[in-house]
Chain A
Amino acid sequence: MALSGVEIFKLLPKTNCKKCGFPTCLAFAMKLAQRQASLDACPDVSDEAKQVLGEASAPPVRPITFGSGDKAVKMGEETVLFRHDKKFVNPCAFAIEIKDSLSEEEITARVEAVLNSEIDRVGQKLRVDAIALTNISNDAGKFEAAGKIIASKAPDVPVIICTGDAQAGEAALKLFAGKNPVLYGANASNAEAMAAVAKEHKAILGVAGNSPEELTDLTEKIKSLGVEDMVIDSGAKTAKEMIEHNTLIRRAAVKKNFKPLGYPIINLVQRDDSLFESLLATVGVTKYASILVLSSVEKWKNLALFTLRQNIYTDPQVPMQVEQKIYSIGEPQPESPLFITTNFSLTYFIVSGEIENSKVASRLAVMDCEGLSVLTAWAAGKFTASKIAQFITESGIDKDVANKELIIPGYVAILSGAIEEKLPGWKITVGPREANALPAFLKTR
C-alpha cells in the first residue's frame, strides 16, 4: 500500500534535525509520500523504517529485464494510467507461440519468421520480441526437443517456457541458462514446485490465476518462497476481461501501490482468426499489457501492431524528431536537387524514403520545427518563409550546389513567392503534395 505522509512520519526519528535538507521530519515525510525525495537523505532512519519504506517506495510496477543481450526486453516501471499524463515507459513485447507438437520443420520455419520479423519504422527497429514455447503435447521429451531447436536457431531471442509441469519446465529452462527466460504456468496447484525451479534457474516466473483476487494470493505466496521477478496473468481471455482485469491491476499498482499486483502483465491472446487476434492485441497494447502472446506472425499484422505500439508508447510531450541538418541521399553532386522539409521523424523518414526510391542522389534540408509535420509547423508559424530563408542562408549550402534551386513541399506552395523574396538569387520550385509522388516528379525533371 502507498503510505501517506503521516504514516511515513511515524517511522522517522522525529528529531527535526534538518540533515535531510527539510525543516522538519514531517516536511520530509510529505515529500517522500509524493516520491519527490529519497529516504537516503535522512542519515538517522532506523533499519526497520528503511525496510517498510523501501518496499513502499519501490516503483509501482516492478522493473524486470526479460531475455539478455541486445534483444533483451525491459518491462514494468509504469507510473500512470493514461498516456497524456506521462509517457508509457516500456513498450509491450510481442511473443509468438510455438507449440511443441509441431514438426521440426514447422518449428524451424516459425523461428525463422521471428528472426526475420524486423521492420524499420521511423528510424526504430521493430520486431517480434520473443518466442513462447507451449507444452501442448504434454510430453516432456517433445518439449525439450522443441526447446533445443529454438535455443540453437535463435539463441538471442527471449523465450517463455509455458508448462504447468515443473520438471518439464526445468529441463527446458536449462537450455536457456543465463538468459532471463520466463517460466510461465505457476498456479495454485503447482506454485511450490514452479517457484523452486524458477529460483534455482533464475527465471522470471509467469503466474496464472483465474482472477486478480486469486493472483494476489499466488504472487504473495510465491514471493514468500523467494521469487522476486514475476509476470502475471489474471486469466483474462476475452477482450472485456482484459480491459477489466488489466485496468484494475494497473490501478491497484499505481494508485494504491498494491505490491502483490505490481508486476508486468502477460496476456494470452491467441485466436484462430488472425485479424481478430490483432484487435485483441490492440486492447492489450492500449490497456497495459507488458507481454502479448500471439499465434502467428503475418507481416501485415506485425507492421500494424508494431506501429500501434510505437504510437501508444511515444512521448506525448515531445514528438519524435531528427536532427536539423542537410542530409545527403545517395552521393549528391553539385547539380543534384535540394529539398526542404521539417524535422518531425515521420515526415523525414517518409520523404527521405521516397527520394531513395527514386534513386536520384539528392540533398534534403531538414529544418528544426520542434518535431512538427509540414502543415502543423506551417500552421504553428514554425515553417515560415523567413525561417526557411534564414536556415538556408545560415547552412551555407549555396556553396555546394550548382543551381540555387530549392524544392518545397506542395502543401506549402503558398510560401514560394515569399521565400523567393527573402532568398535573393534562389529559385523556389513547388514539389508534389504527397511524398509518394516524388519519384515521378524527379523522373520528369
Chain B
Amino acid sequence: MAFTPPKETYSGTVYPLTIGTGDKAVTIGGENVLSFHSFEGQTPFKPVIAYEIQDVPPSDWPESVRKPYDSVSDDPVKWAQFCQDTLKAKALALRLVGTHPDRENRSPEEAAKTVSDILSAVDIPLIILGSNHVEKDAPVLVAASEAAKDKNCVIGKAQEANYKTIAAAAMANNHKLIAMSELDINLSKQLNILLTQMGFEKERLITDPMCSALGYGLEYTYSVMERIRLAALTQNDVTMQPPMLGDVGMYVWKVKESQAPESDLPEWGATEERGIAWEAQTGASLLIAGSELLIMRHPRAVEAVEKLIEELT
C-alpha cells in the first residue's frame, strides 16, 4: 500500500502583524497552517519571545528569576538595555505593575515617563502592559499609549470591562492591541468582534486567551488556543485570525514548582533548573498550540525556547 502524505489545505490565514519600527521591527503570524506545519503551507514568520521587565523592582519574583537581573532591575531603563544589549532580546514587555493600587500605586504620568525613558534608550519593539487592575489600567494605558505615539508598540490588555478606552488610545496613537478574555473561545471571539465594531482594525489585534502554567490549567490554555487556531484556519473565521499571545512568565513564576526549595522537596530536584524548565516547557507547549508571541522571564528559558523555534522552522 503506497503512503500518500495526508496533507491538509486550510481556507484561512493568520494575520501577519508587525511591531516596533525601523530595523528592529519584528513580524509574527502570517501562516496558513497549524503551528510549525511548514510541510503543508506557508509559515513566513517565526514566533517571537519578549523579555518581561517591570516599572518597579521585581521584589515579588522568586529568587531564581530575580538573580539574573539583580544589577539592573532597580531601574527599568537599565533593565531594558540589559535585555536588548546583553541578552539580545528581540522584544520587550514592560509590565507597569507599580501602578496597581495595592502596590506602589504609581500615577499614569509616572507610568508614561517610564515608557518614554525606555523608548529613548532601546530600539527593539515594546509591549506595554498594565497591572491587570481593570479600572486603573484604563488611564495608565491611555497615558502610556500617548507617550509611545507612533512607535508601533503593543498595548495590553484590553478586557471586556475596559476595552473601549484602551482600544481608543491604542488606535489614536497607532499601536497594536492585546485583547484578553478568560479561557473561553466564545468570549475571545466576542471581544474581538466588539473591538472591530468600534472601529479597531482586526489586523492590528493580538488575542490573549489567558495563559496558565504547566500543572495549573495549562491544558485549558492549550486547547483553547488549538480551537481558536482551527477556527481561524479551517472555518476561515476572521474574528479568530489575529496572532496569539502566551503571557507565560507571570503565571509560571508564582506556582510552587518554580520556587519551592529542594531542601523541602528533595524528590522535585534542583530548584533553579526546575523553575527554568517549568517556564520553558509552558512556553514550548503554547507555541505548539498556536501562539506566536510569548512573554517570558528567565534568560535560560528564553534561550532554550528560541533554540527550539530555530529547530522547528
Contact = CB atoms under 8 A, between A and B. Distances in A.
Contact of B215 (A251, A258, A307): A307
Nearest to A83: B223
A247 interface: yes
B280 A312 contact: no
Contacts of A260: 1, 3
B312 A239 contact: yes
Interface stretch (A16-24, A154-162, A275-283, A411-419): A275-283
B177 interface: no
B5 A248 contact: yes
A213 interface: yes
B278 interface: yes
A256 B6 contact: yes
Interface stretch (A102-110, A129-137, A294-302): A294-302
Interface string A79-106: 0001110000000000000000000000
B215 A311 contact: yes
B215 A238 contact: no
Given A240-B312, A276-B304, A314-B219, A301 B288 contact: no
Interface residues of B, number: 50
Contacts of A303: 257, 267-269, 274
B285 interface: yes
A239 B306 CA distance: 12
A304 interface: yes
Given A238-B311, A302-B269, A303-B274, A212 B3 contact: yes
A292 to B, nearest CB: 13
Nearest to A281: B281
B172 to A, nearest CB: 34
Contact of A278 (B280, B289, B312): B280
A279 B6 contact: no
Contact of B280 (A83, A279, A287, A307): A279
Contacts of B222: 83, 286, 311-312
Interface string A256-283: 1011110000000000010110111011
Contacts of A307: 214-215, 257
B64 to A, nearest CB: 11
Contact of A252 (B6, B38, B300, B304): B6
Contact of B312 (A243, A273, A314): A243
| Listed residue (A244, A299, A311, A312) with the most chain B CB atoms within 10 angstroms of its CB | A311
Given A252-B3, A279-B305, A82 B226 contact: yes
A423 interface: no
A436 B264 CA distance: 12
Contacts of A279: 280-281, 284, 304-305, 307-308
B11 interface: no
A216 interface: yes
Contacts of B161: none
Interface string B258-279: 0000000011111101101110
Secondary structure dominating the interface of B: helix
A347 B254 CA distance: 15
| Listed residue (A215, A258, A273, A308) with the most chain B CB atoms within 10 angstroms of its CB | A308
B281 A282 contact: yes
Contact of B313 (A240, A276, A286, A316): A240
Given A240-B36, A279-B280, A311-B219, A299 B6 contact: no
B281 A278 contact: yes
B227 interface: yes
B112 interface: no
B256 A436 contact: yes
Given A279-B280, A300-B268, A304-B277, A255 B6 contact: yes
A98 B135 CA distance: 57
A7 interface: no
B3 A346 contact: no
A82 B280 CA distance: 22
| Listed residue (A119, A213, A247, A314) with the most chain B CB atoms within 10 angstroms of its CB | A247
B3 A287 contact: no
A112 interface: no
Given A279-B284, A279-B308, A282-B285, A304 B278 contact: yes
Contacts of A238: 311
Nearest to A316: B223
Contact of A312 (B7, B219, B267): B219
A83 B227 CA distance: 10
A212 B7 CA distance: 13
B90 interface: no
B260 to A, nearest CB: 8
A238 B6 CA distance: 21
B44 to A, nearest CB: 16
B276 A275 contact: yes
Contacts of A259: 1
A428 B200 CA distance: 48
Interface in B153-182: none
| Listed residue (B3, B5, B222, B285) with the most chain A CB atoms within 10 angstroms of its CB | B3
A417 to B, nearest CB: 22
Given A298-B269, A308-B281, 20 more contacts: A83-B222, A83-B223, A121-B215, A212-B3, A215-B3, A240-B36, A240-B38, A243-B37, A258-B1, A261-B3, A275-B273, A280-B308, A282-B281, A286-B222, A286-B285, A299-B267, A300-B270, A302-B269, A311-B219, A316-B223
16 contacts: A82-B230, A84-B223, A212-B3, A216-B1, A240-B313, A248-B5, A252-B5, A273-B304, A276-B307, A298-B269, A304-B277, A305-B281, A311-B215, A312-B222, A314-B219, A346-B216
**The 9 residue pairs across chains A and B that have the minimum distance between CB atoms:** A299-B269, A300-B269, A300-B274, A216-B3, A311-B219, A84-B223, A239-B311, A307-B215, A304-B277
